[in-house]
Structure 1
């Protein structure tokens, strides 16, 4: 997973450190200003959008389970 922020890569890294989840990420990136794709983000397969305030108590396995659950609904 990658963590990104419109505040930039360093802000993304610092936010992950603040929430104690930095080890979950492969890297930290600035959020893109333009995305060219044939699908809206909410239509991406296997995309799970999570707010940092909702991370407490979750693990990578928890998120994988949520993606599988999401897939079964489609």
Structure 2
């Protein structure tokens, strides 16, 4: 069973739940120059966030999100 912790993305009023994972699981998946869509699990709303914003918010809490376990995907329109 995955354990989830809330993350509040700066500028957003909703709290997004992400699973706790190790940094090496995510390093190859998230490019810091890309924008990602993250889905709020409770409201199903989507918000676009920069990867560096995700990392910064998680670093403050001392944990790292894993893209494979959360409803995040690369926004291919951003080049």
TM-score interval, smaller chain: under 0.3
TM norm structure 2: 0.24
Larger radius of gyration: 1
Which structure's residues are more often helix, by fraction?
1
TM norm structure 1: 0.25
Higher relative contact order at CA 8 Å, sep ≥6: structure 1 or structure 2?
Answer: 2
